[in-house]
Structure 1
Amino acid sequence: MDAVQDIAPPLVAHLIYRLDIGGLETLLVDTINSMAPGRYRHAVICLTDYTDFAGRITRPDVALYALHKPAGLALGTHADLFRLLRQLRPAVLHTYNLGTIEYAATAWAAGVPVRVHAEHGRDARDPQGINPKHNLLRRLVTPFIDRYVPVSRDLHAWLERVVRIPARKLQLIDNGVDTERFRASADAGAEPWQGDGAFVIGTVGRLQDVKDQATLVDAFALLRRQLPDEKLRLVLVGDGPLRARLETQLNTLGLQDCAILAGPRSDVAPVMRSFSLFALSSIAEGTPVTLLEAMASELPVVATAVGGIPDLVAPGVNGALAPARDAQALAAAIAPYVQDRALARRHGVAGRARVEQQYSMQAMLAAYVALYDELCQTKTTPRTPDKAKKAITPCAE
């Protein structure tokens, strides 16, 4: 009996491009922290590196590795990962997004029995997911992947119809959010942008092309002109390559006194509670974690109708939608909430109810545990892909 009790739970190795502040990274950390320790152990392997954000992993038994992959093909990284996987002997390799997908073949060669690949969204270089080279790679590695996990219905349909991944290899798992940490509160904190009855339009995310915060800034400028008697503030939380450009844009539009580049924040939950409305101006998304966090915080949400966002936002119920890259439409969608605070409260409450019904952390964790259990129980021949062996040429990053 003691020998059975001493057997360690199976190890899941999560392969991510870089562990830094972001929606996918937050979801990964929350998954590891929240999953029952007795079911699976976890290790995080970063193809490049990790930042202080890794400190958000609170489980003491989680190993963290950085392979320091250089730009380009970097064939040596495959060898480094092969050796590491042979050392760790995980039961599952869980890869995330295009930057890690080719390493499923490396995991097969290293004898990892189960390979799972999650698609959380596409980037600004290919927002529609039609790049033929990338989609060819996705198809070529299919024999080495046991299950693709899209996190939105839009991504599921794209993988099946555009990329042409077999339906039997697809499993939709909705992202989840911690509804205890993200909630409304009478104590909304004391952020510098609060006070004076101002209506605070906030967003959280990396400052990069795919999030298109520049359109949100233009929409805010339009709102200021359309509603001159309203006290409006805009708060952009996050950091990234667009920060300098956004700062210049704010100064050019004369918004520097009412718009704040707040930088990265690790305490997102209280920051959310300081907003009056959450806005997301992305040109591509899966199921955005920050949008779920905002809904759980009882904020009305106004977002672009891209990716999995229409699955979350029911216009007239918990928020509003606007076309991507359309500042005028985005401003028009936000304006009713500025003018009717009771409407904002009603839609915020409805958003919280929607998260509790379908997008809880508990539901997501149960789905991943069930997937790992199913594949670990059925995979008995770790080195045989389910189609003929193919030579895989890693693509450039």
Structure 2
Amino acid sequence: MSPDNEPPATPLIVHLIHRLDVGGLENGLINLINHLPPDRYRHAIVCLRDYSDYHLRIQRPGVEIISINKREGKDWAHYLRLFQTLKRLRPLMIHTRNLSGIEGQLLAAVAGVRLRVHGEHGRDINDLHGLSRKYRLLRKLLRPLIGHFIAVSKDLETWLIGTIGARPQRVTHICNGVDSLQFHPRLGPPAAIGPDGFLCEDAFVIGSVGRMAEVKDHLTLAQAFILLIAEHALPRDRLRLLIAGDGPCRQACLDLLRQAGMDELAWLPGNRDDIPQLMRAMDVFVQPSLAEGMSNTILEAMATGLPVVATAVGGNPDLVRGGWTGTLVPPSSPAVLADALNDYYQLPALAVSHGQRGRRRVLAEYSLNAMADAYLAVYDALAAPTRPMKG
């Protein structure tokens, strides 16, 4: 076959993110690539910083991962490196995510990338409620370059339209999906986890999973755990705390628990690769974030059949139906959080019913295939050739 008659190459989508490491956004990206039809698009992940072994979760062959190696603060040279990378890859489409990636829209336009998508998965750590004039101005200036926006929560969709000025027809709300086969309810006694003596007989395990960064506010969870024993008088021989994840706030949580004399009742093992197994050892799941887009870990907990106590911020109320699949509490309120956890301890049947309803909701509304189909519809609509207007 001559070069002129060769079939066109499968179009490439470049996914621009800050860093490929443990995190909800990154987990969602990998799930998306793994579940999109392999014959429709090729994929490359461009990291403004770098990447970790987390990329080994990608099951699809041929996904190029590139590090721009941006330095902290303003690194003007990284714009040139990003431009050169886009010129080399020559993608059909770029999909940037969050504030850290949105400037890539300008570089992509200059590099000739015709189709441009931007996703909002959660606001910046320094602007949890989207009120920064500087960041709003940046988004508004780049808005005309963006062909379509994707918001992972209703809260972010409303904000993009009402505050940033995106046209409603150019914004799609796409929920994250969860692997309901990997994350499933406990089928028998929980597997032995943690150090010797941690998972005692009849233990009531309060659990959480996520980056232990300030925005996730696991310190409030540790404070609530202490209150359950100190003020609610729950038995030390049954109550256990499990927080899987790593980050700058892990040591502060350990110190607080140690000062209260409760460190032997808690296990904070850092990052783990056995999250489904750990969740099946929990009795209730807590998401204490100060801000949230669409929490993958809440979905995973619901798929595991756990009742969820979450702060009423961001996309959490989209997932947790208070009094039906879990309980919503205000952020930074350890006493209120302790009250909610005490309810589940005192009323085991309530915990079971909320967990079962959460599992059913995940199966009905939050499958990985449904998520992939929704993204594919956005990509296909942008990539479709322009049709002539009738009349």
TM range (shorter): over 0.9
**Residue number in structure 2 paired with 1:209:** 214
**Residue number in structure 2 paired with 1:190:** 192
The letter of the residue matching 2:192 is: A
**Residue number in structure 2 paired with 1:224:** 229
Cα distance, 1:364–1:2 mapped onto 2, change above 3 Å? farther
Deviation at 1:333, TM superposition (A): 1.1
- Looking at structure 2, the residues matched to 379 and 264 of structure 1 have their Cα atoms a distance apart, in angstroms, of 47
**Do the aligned partners of 2:94 and 2:117 also contact (CA within 8 Å) in 1?**
yes
SS in 2 for 1:171: strand
**Residue number in structure 1 paired with 2:250:** 243
Are 1:75 and 2:76 matched, yes or no? yes
Deviation at 1:228, TM superposition (A): 2.7
**Residue number in structure 1 paired with 2:316:** 309
Are 1:40 and 2:45 matched, yes or no? no
Q: Which region of structure 1 is more displaced relative to structure 2, 261-270 or 277-286?
A: 261-270
SS in 2 for 1:130: coil
**Residue number in structure 1 paired with 2:360:** 353
- Looking at structure 2, the residues matched to 329 and 348 of structure 1 have their Cα atoms a distance apart, in angstroms, of 20
Alpha-carbon displacement from aligned partner over 1:259-303 (angstroms, at most 9, x marks no partner): 111110122212211111100100100110100010011111001
**Residue number in structure 1 paired with 2:138:** 137
Are 1:371 and 2:372 matched, yes or no? no
Are 1:264 and 2:291 matched, yes or no? no
Deviation at 1:243, TM superposition (A): 1.8
SS in 2 for 1:142: helix
Q: What TM-score does the superposition give when structure 2 sets the normalisation length?
A: 0.93
Are 1:335 and 2:336 matched, yes or no? no
**Do the aligned partners of 1:207 and 1:243 also contact (CA within 8 Å) in 2?**
yes
SS in 1 for 2:306: coil
Alpha-carbon displacement from aligned partner over 1:78-128 (angstroms, at most 9, x marks no partner): 211111111111111111110010110100111111111110012442211
Deviation at 1:6, TM superposition (A): 5.0
The letter of the residue matching 1:322 is: V
Q: 1:273 aligns with which of 266, 277, 280?
A: 280
Deviation at 1:179, TM superposition (A): 1.3
- Looking at structure 2, the residues matched to 252 and 258 of structure 1 have their Cα atoms a distance apart, in angstroms, of 13
**Do the aligned partners of 1:113 and 1:379 also contact (CA within 8 Å) in 2?**
no
Deviation at 1:14, TM superposition (A): 0.6
**Do the aligned partners of 2:12 and 2:42 also contact (CA within 8 Å) in 1?**
yes
**Residue number in structure 1 paired with 2:56:** 55
Q: Which region of structure 1 is more displaced relative to structure 2, 1-10 or 122-131?
A: 1-10
**Do the aligned partners of 1:116 and 1:148 also contact (CA within 8 Å) in 2?**
yes
Deviation at 1:72, TM superposition (A): 2.4
Moved over 4 A (4+): 1-6
**Do the aligned partners of 2:99 and 2:124 also contact (CA within 8 Å) in 1?**
no
**Residue number in structure 2 paired with 1:384:** none
- Looking at structure 2, the residues matched to 5 and 198 of structure 1 have their Cα atoms a distance apart, in angstroms, of 64
Are 1:26 and 2:27 matched, yes or no? yes
**Residue number in structure 2 paired with 1:174:** 175
- Looking at structure 1, the residues matched to 99 and 240 of structure 2 have their Cα atoms a distance apart, in angstroms, of 36
RMSD: 1.8
**Residue number in structure 2 paired with 1:87:** 88
SS in 2 for 1:121: coil
**Residue number in structure 2 paired with 1:395:** none
- Looking at structure 1, the residues matched to 306 and 99 of structure 2 have their Cα atoms a distance apart, in angstroms, of 32
- Looking at structure 1, the residues matched to 182 and 42 of structure 2 have their Cα atoms a distance apart, in angstroms, of 24
Q: What TM-score does the superposition give when structure 1 sets the normalisation length?
A: 0.92
SS in 1 for 2:94: strand
The letter of the residue matching 1:153 is: K
The letter of the residue matching 1:220 is: F
**Do the aligned partners of 1:123 and 1:210 also contact (CA within 8 Å) in 2?**
no
- Looking at structure 2, the residues matched to 208 and 347 of structure 1 have their Cα atoms a distance apart, in angstroms, of 28
Structure 2 regions of 5+ residues with no counterpart? none
**Do the aligned partners of 2:98 and 2:124 also contact (CA within 8 Å) in 1?**
no
- Looking at structure 2, the residues matched to 344 and 366 of structure 1 have their Cα atoms a distance apart, in angstroms, of 33
Deviation at 1:185, TM superposition (A): 3.3
